[in-house]
Each structure stands twice: as structure tokens, then as C-alpha cells.
Amino acid sequence: MNCKYFGTCASCTLFDKTYNEQLNYKWQREKERFSELTTIDFDIIKSNEKNFRNRAEFRIWWEKDENGNEVLSYAMNDFKKNILKIDSCEMVSCHIKEIMPKLLKELEKDLVLSFKLFAIEFLGSSTNDMLVTLIYHKKLDVEWMRLSKEIEENLNIKIMGRSRKQKIVLSSEHINETLNINNKDFKFAYQEGGFTQPNTKVNIQMIEWVLNNIENSSKDLCELYCGGGNFTIPLSTKFNKVLATEISKTSIKSALRNCDLNDINSIQFIRMSAEEFVQALNKVRAFNRLKDVNLDDYSFDTIFMDPPRSGLDDTTRNLAKDFDQIIYISCNPETLHRDLKELVKTHEILNFALFDQFAFTEHIESGVILKKKHNLI
């Protein structure tokens, strides 16, 4: 890796390996972890070695030079948890990398912009649309808005300001993205504060992997933890109807917008937790949020789950066992292993993939497709 901070910056923990060596290390680790549950070959989805992140956050280090001028630096931790000042990052997209130094120069021009600036968040897209969130430990005023608007125009980016009990949107709080999935374009609006997959290339390959490993169905899909519809919208092309749930209000707002962008009307989004949805499906209790949704109108054969790092709770795991087909995307191999130990009692693993979302880190994403044992030929 051609990065001057490689081996010093603690964000890349596998700095002592080449890209293929770190990928092989993670593959061998997961192969051993899941050996008791399956012997099938893993599909390995590679990342680019650098410039793959379209989402990044950096702390800001503020100091004065010998002439008394304000100097801003991006800051990470080193391996001793000390502050490491950086001026670039090889992990971020080429567009973010290009904007990083230009943005600091603009912010250094006026104390209104630089003083008590705590962190900067970048949200980019493959279409070069970019939203930058400036996070402060002070109240933002009209002068800050005027100066930040000038930076928007100079750098052709969108800027938001955040501080305690303040959120200032200068032009827009979302960016536009187009993902080409199996030679079909899907449009998305990614909102600040909502969850988005940081590695666009791997994200596309994750979605394609799922689509290419399941059959078209005349029945319906149930999705838990749907986020902004990243998987939901492309997967809707494989099913009659989709019922998707998500607890985040921001994500539901994004999901509804993304459905409109793609002219899809076969998806119903519901804002509720996975645990609440299980109660609703099992008719344990009624929910006002479901007053316009008749669950009996759905004939599910597949459940799709992309849970947080904590994985599935006991109730959701038991619900999944009732579906003919389970699609499980995981960001934590440990909780995936725990959940699969239960799911393989009723289902068989047909496909297993490793997605290298975060190169040169210990992290790996996984995808598993399971089929109910009595339905296997």
C-alpha cells in the first residue's frame, strides 16, 4: 500500500500484509470459524486496494503556526492512541481525497469557519455528488452560513453544519447515487445521518451476489433491517411484493424516496423494530403503524435480514426458521456463527460469501443463503 501513514495510522490494522495476504488471512479465519457448519466453498468478493470509501469521518486538529496563523489538520489515532495528524488518506475515494486539502485551505481563511471545528464527515457517490458535514463545538450563525455557502460554490460540494441542538442545511442534506446492478441502473438518494454502505464497488457486488443466487419467486419477500432500501429495491424485481421494516425514521424516509426514484410500487415500508414486527406477524399484539397493512395479504417464502453487529435476537431467529428461504447479510462473523448454529437445525446453507468491504482491517462482511431442508431436492 502506497500510503505514508501505513503502519502508523491505526485505522489500517493489517498493515503488515499485501492486499491478497490480508484477504487470504480473513478467508482462512472464517473458513475455520464456520467449518463445523458448512464445507461449501466461499465466494470471495474483493475490494479495490485503495480509494474505495465513499464515506469517511475525520477529527480536526486546530493549532497556530509560528506566525500566529490558524492551521487545520485531519487527525486519526496511531497505534498508541495518540493523535496522528494527516493530510490525506488512501482509503477514501479519489474525489474525497481531492477535496480534503482544498476544504481545509478554505476553512483556514476565516476564524468563523475554523474555530472550534471538531470533525468533518464526507459522503460521496460514484456520480461525484458530495455532501460535507462540518461538526462544531460552538453555535453557528449567519456569518458562518455566508462563508460556508462560498465554499460550496468554490468546491462544488454540498455543506451542512452541525453543533449542539443545531443542524443547518445550506442546499441539500442528501446526495444522488446511481448503482449499475446486473446492467440495470438503480437510483438512490443518500441522506446525511442515514446508513449507507461505504464501499460502492463491493456494495454492488453484494447485491448482485444475492440476485444471482436466488430464483424468481411468485411469492413475497419479508425484509428486516431494510435501511434506505439498498437491497430492498433491487430484490423487489425477484418477488411479487415486499414488506420491509426499519426502526430508523431517517432510513424509512430515504427508502420511500428511493422507491419513488425507481418507480417501484410493490414495496411497503414500515417503521418498526424487528422485535415488534415479529410480534405483529405472530399476532401477539396490534400496532397502530400497521392499521393500513393487512399482513394476511402477504404470502412470504423468503426472509432477508441485514442486522446490526449484535445479530438476531431469539425471537427473530425463531421467526426466520418459518421461511422457506433465508438470506442473511452479516457485518459480524461472531454473531453470524451464533445465529447459523440455530438456523442450520431447520435449514441448509446453499451459498456463502465473504465481502471485503474494509480492506486492511480485521473486518469482513458475510452473506449466507439457506433453504429449508424439506424443500431441498
Burial of residue 139 (number of CB atoms within 10 Å: 0-12, 13-18, 19+): exposed
Tell me if 38 sits within 8 A of 25, measured CB to CB.
Answer: no
Say how far residue 289 (Cα) sits from the centre of its chain: 26
Tell me if 12 sits within 8 A of 360, measured CB to CB.
Answer: yes
Helix (H) or strand (E) holding 104: helix 94-107
Q: Could you say which DSSP state residue 97 is in? A: H
Grid cell 499485501 in the structure block, residue:
18
Sign of CA dihedral 92, 97, 101, 106: negative
Virtual torsion, Cα 24, 25, 31, 33, nearest 10 deg: -170
Tell me if 324 sits within 8 A of 301, measured CB to CB.
Answer: yes
Tell me if 340 sits within 8 A of 352, measured CB to CB.
Answer: no
- 167 — phi, psi (to 5°)? -145, 115
Grid cell 489538520 in the structure block, residue:
73
In the chain, the N- to C-terminal Cα span, in Å, equals 47
Grid cell 493489517 in the structure block, residue:
14
Known catalytic residues? 331, 365
Say how far residue 246 (Cα) sits from the centre of its chain: 14
Best CA proximity match to 340, nearest among 362, 367, 364, 365? 367
Q: In angstroms, rounded to a whole number, what is the distance separating the alpha carbons of residues 130 and 159?
A: 9
